[in-house]
């Protein structure tokens, strides 16, 4: 999770200023009616959750990579070192490539749908029938 | 950095007003830069494929003709399974960017507000005017799905929306705006320096500056000039002024004012009036008022320059117009479509800029090529988002009617 110094304190403590519930406020909707993309509204909700989870898995993988790199370098890892870690250009590229590969894995269904549009295959039954006949 | 990989968030330039971004917060933005690139790159071709392979044929079948307006394509594509899917992905990307950014900013808002207050009290770069009303085109919806728009305060005197705008621009643009999100302003500077090296402006007005990310590079490039950066939104100006102060910029002043009413500035008092990605966030009535006021305050021989995505013209295929329109309907940019459909040259001519004094130039984001990849273009262009713009400009004729400078 986030740096412990701020994250565990959900309220501001400034005199004369109301407490800020940053978790609740952060999710505030933007004014303006949201388009409905799917006939089934639950699917719109599900997309929001799936891709938020995808972002979390990506962040977890990146954190794991950071821990491993710090252990490789120092043999020990402190939480503040994780928060302060800045990849050099080689590590940045390796992590970028890993994220790109991860993206490709979770987006395969979408990517193959685009490929299928370009290929325009006939229904498999057509092929089955054709091979039965020929 | 390999050319097709976005830089990590940690490559962003830091200054005192930069919200602190912890490991996982940066990682979430890294996910989004990749996600956005994936949507425009790897699967970006899907919309055209869907259109050409099934949507257009079905339209021809039904109507016996081709679409005659981008809205006809939009109506048809909004029923297409792929376009709906892709739009849902993209909308969620925008919403996540806002949510992630607001978590970063709001969890440390006490520190950010205190820091901004300190900078603004001591730098004298900020002048707020609570009597300035928020125009309807800024309050009708929260522009680009930023909760609270540019103007709403979470509490008195806070910098939430400004800081959130700054912290997440990187993710939205895939890093294409550079380490300080100022690639647009840098592009303007480079254009002026290369095309008009003798131009030495003394007073510069930036209208609709928000957090000043495009006005600050102009101030930095012309240290002898005085830059006035105006916006109606105090919550953005407050952060912008503190950001500029934290960066050590002193020749800029952030003033709460509307571009529709520049009456506090006298006629012919600026050498240069600039807007950057601003005109599309107005309305049909406000835009000509702002351009007329700009003309009035501009000195003869002065420069008016607007950075925008390209206008729709008859030369632009309807499908491209439709794709560029996506943000208007899916990302709360309600004037985007109408604005880009206008004949901007005529609008500028009506405001006093003779057509012969006008020009259009192409500019692209200027970023550190060691860290940031070149802006995508061509087939993979992220319609309406790419850091490649048109500069719509004019040199105000001097009193004798002579053209001050050729474009």
**Min Cα–Cα distance to chain A from B265, Å:** 34
Whole-number pLDDT of residue B268: 98
Average pLDDT score over residue span B300-315: 94
CA distances in angstroms from B245 to B159, B177, B250, listed in the order given: 15, 21, 7
How much of chain A is in helix, strand and coil states, percent to nearest 5?
65, 0, 35
Q: Given an 8 Å threshold on Cβ–Cβ distance, is B146 in contact with A30?
A: yes
Determine contact, residues A54/B28, Cβ cutoff 8 Å.
no
Residue whose C-alpha is closest to residue B44's, from B385, B380, B384, B323? B380
Q: By C-alpha distance, which of B387, B402, B395 is closest to B181? A: B387
Residue environment code for B129-140, b if the CB has 16+ CB neighbours within 10 A, otherwise e: eeebeebebbbe
Task: List, as ranges, residues 85-104 from A with C-beta within 8 Å of B.
Answer: 85-87, 89, 92-93, 95-97, 99-100, 103-104
Confidence of residue A1 (pLDDT cuts 50, 70, 90): very low
Q: Is A126 on the interface with B (CB under 8 A)?
A: no
Q: Is the ipTM beyond the 0.85 threshold?
A: yes
**Predicted structure pTM score:** 0.92
Counting residues of chain B whose pLDDT is more than 90, the rounded percentage is 83
Residue A2 is predicted with a pLDDT of 40
Instruction: State mean pLDDT over A50-77.
Output: 98
Average pLDDT over residues A54-70: 98
A16 within some domain: no
- Can you give the pLDDT at residue B282? 97
Strands B388-395 and B252-256 come out as unpaired
Give residue A52's pLDDT.
98
Q: Tell me if A12 is assigned to some domain.
A: no
Contact criterion met (CB < 8 Å) for B110 and A14: yes
Cβ contact, residue pair B82, A114, below 8 Å: yes
With 0-12 / 13-18 / 19 or more C-beta atoms within 10 angstroms meaning exposed / middle / buried, residue B329 is middle
What per-residue confidence (pLDDT) applies to B369?
67
The pLDDT, as a whole number, for residue B351 is 97
Report whether pLDDT(B290) > 60. yes
B42 band by pLDDT with thresholds 50, 70 and 90: confident
In-domain check, residue A123? yes
- Give the model's pLDDT for residue A67: 98
Where are the domains positioned within chain B? Answer: 1-13+21-407
Higher pLDDT among residues B265 and B176, named by residue: B265
> Given a cut of 70, is residue A4 above it in pLDDT?
no
Domain that holds residue A127: 37-133
- The answer to whether residue A7 scores a pLDDT higher than 60 is no
Predicted confidence at residue B389, as pLDDT, reads 87
What pLDDT score was predicted for residue B171? 86
* pLDDT band, very low/low/confident/very high, at A8 (cuts 50, 70, 90): very low
Domain assignment of residue A57, yes or no: yes
User: What part of B 21-80 touches A (C-beta under 8 Å)?
Assistant: 22-25, 27-28, 30-32, 34-35, 38, 42-43, 45-46, 49-50, 53
Distance CA B82, CA B91 (A): 14
Q: What is the mean pLDDT of residues B112-125?
A: 97
Report CB contact under 8 Å: A118, B49.
yes
Q: Is residue A1 part of a domain?
A: no
Residue B307 CB partners (closer than 8 Å, separation 6+): B184, B187, B188, B214, B274, B275, B276, B277, B363, B389, B390, B391
- Residue of B144 and A120 predicted with greater confidence: B144
Closest of B386, B337, B327 to residue B91, by C-alpha: B327
Q: What is the mean pLDDT of chain B?
A: 92
Contacts of B5 (CB under 8 A, 6+ apart): A93, A96, A97, A100, B373
Biggest CA–CA distance in chain B, Å, is 68
The H or E element containing residue B231 is: strand B226-231
Predicted confidence at residue B66, as pLDDT, reads 98
Per-residue model confidence (pLDDT) at position B125: 98
Q: Does A6 reside within a domain?
A: no
Statement: residue B312 has pLDDT above 60? yes
Mean pLDDT of B216-235: 98
Count: domains in chain A: 1
Other residues' Cβ atoms within 10 Å of the Cβ of residue A125: 8
Lowest mean pLDDT of B84-98, B112-126, B153-167, B364-378, name the range. B364-378
A92 closest CB neighbour out of B8, B42, B332? B8
B1-13+21-407 is classed CATH 3.40.50.150? yes
Dihedral class, residue A59 (left if φ above 0, else alpha if ψ from -120 to 50, else beta): alpha
pLDDT of B45 higher than 70: yes
Cα–Cα distance, B171 to B165 (Å, whole number): 11
pLDDT, position B1: 42
Interface test with chain B among A1, A8, A19, A32, by most B beta carbons within 10 Å: A32
Place A120 in a pLDDT band, splitting at 50, 70 and 90: confident
A47 within domain boundaries: yes
Q: Which helix (H) or strand (E) holds B253?
A: strand B252-256
Inform me whether the C-beta atom of residue B361 falls under 8 Å from chain A C-beta atoms: no
Position A37 confidence tier, pLDDT thresholds 50, 70, 90 = very high
Backbone φ and ψ for B226, nearest 5 degrees, come out as -105, 120
| Residue B244: closest CA among B216, B204, B286 | B216
Confidence label for B365 from pLDDT (cuts 50, 70 and 90): confident
User: What is the rounded distance in angstroms from the CA atom of residue B86 to the CA atom of residue B103?
Assistant: 26
* Structure tokens belonging to residue A79: 């939480």
Q: Are B273 and B353 in contact (CB under 8 A)?
A: no
């Amino acid at each position: 999770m986030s740096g412990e110094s701020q994250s565990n304190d959900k309220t501001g403590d400034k005199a004369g200023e109301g407490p800020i519930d940053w978790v609740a406020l952060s999710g505030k909707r933007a004014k303006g009616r949201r388009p409905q993309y799917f006939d089934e509204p639950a699917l719109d909700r599900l997309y929001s959750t799936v891709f938020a989870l995808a972002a979390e898995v990506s962040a977890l993988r990146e954190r794991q990579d950071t821990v491993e790199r710090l252990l490789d370098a120092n043999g020990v890892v402190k939480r503040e070192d994780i928060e302060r870690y800045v990849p050099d250009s080689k590590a940045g590229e390796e992590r970028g490539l890993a994220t790109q590969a991860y993206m490709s894995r979770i987006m395969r269904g979408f990517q193959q749908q685009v490929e299928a549009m370009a290929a325009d295959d006939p229904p498999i039954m057509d092929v089955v029938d054709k091979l039965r006949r020929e | 950095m390999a050319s097709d990989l976005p830089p990590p968030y940690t490559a962003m330039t830091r200054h005192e007003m930069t919200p602190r971004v912890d490991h996982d917060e940066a990682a979430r933005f890294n996910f989004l830069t990749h996600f956005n690139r994936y949507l425009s790159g790897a699967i970006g071709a899907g919309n055209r494929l869907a259109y050409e392979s099934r949507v257009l044929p079905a339209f021809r079948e039904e109507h016996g003709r081709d679409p005659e307006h981008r809205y006809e394509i939009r109506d048809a594509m909004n029923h297409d399974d792929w376009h709906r899917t892709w739009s849902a992905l993209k909308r969620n990307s925008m919403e996540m960017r806002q949510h992630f950014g607001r978590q970063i900013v709001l969890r440390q808002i006490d520190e950010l507000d205190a820091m901004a207050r300190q900078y603004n009290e001591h730098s004298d770069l900020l002048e707020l005017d609570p009597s300035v009303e928020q125009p309807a085109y800024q309050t009708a919806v929260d522009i680009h799905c930023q909760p609270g728009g540019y103007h709403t305060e979470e509490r008195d005197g806070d910098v939430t929306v400004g800081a959130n705008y700054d912290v997440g621009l990187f993710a939205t643009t895939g890093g294409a705006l550079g380490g300080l999100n100022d690639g647009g302003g840098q592009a303007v500077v480079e254009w002026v320096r290369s095309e008009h090296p003798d131009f030495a402006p003394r007073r510069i007005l930036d209208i609709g500056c928000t957090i000043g990310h495009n006005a600050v590079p102009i101030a930095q490039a012309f240290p002898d000039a005085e830059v006035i950066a105006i916006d109606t939104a105090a919550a953005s100006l407050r952060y912008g002024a503190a950001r500029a102060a934290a960066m050590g910029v002193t020749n800029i002043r952030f003033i709460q004012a509307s571009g529709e009413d520049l009456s506090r500035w006298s006629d012919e008092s600026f050498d240069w009036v600039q807007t950057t990605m601003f005109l599309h966030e107005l309305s049909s009535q406000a835009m000509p008022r702002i351009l007329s006021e700009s003309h009035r305050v501009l000195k003869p021989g002065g420069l008016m320059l607007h950075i925008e995505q390209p206008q729709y013209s008859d030369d632009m295929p309807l499908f491209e117009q439709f794709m560029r329109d996506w943000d208007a309907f899916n990302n709360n940019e309600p004037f985007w479509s109408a604005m880009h459909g206008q004949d901007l040259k005529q609008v500028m001519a009506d405001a006093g800029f003779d057509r012969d004094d006008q020009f259009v130039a192409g500019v692209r984001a200027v970023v550190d090529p060691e860290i940031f990849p070149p802006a995508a273009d061509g087939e993979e262009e992220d319609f309406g988002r790419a850091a490649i713009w048109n500069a719509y400009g004019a040199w105000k004729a001097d009193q004798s009617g002579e053209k001050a400078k050729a474009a």
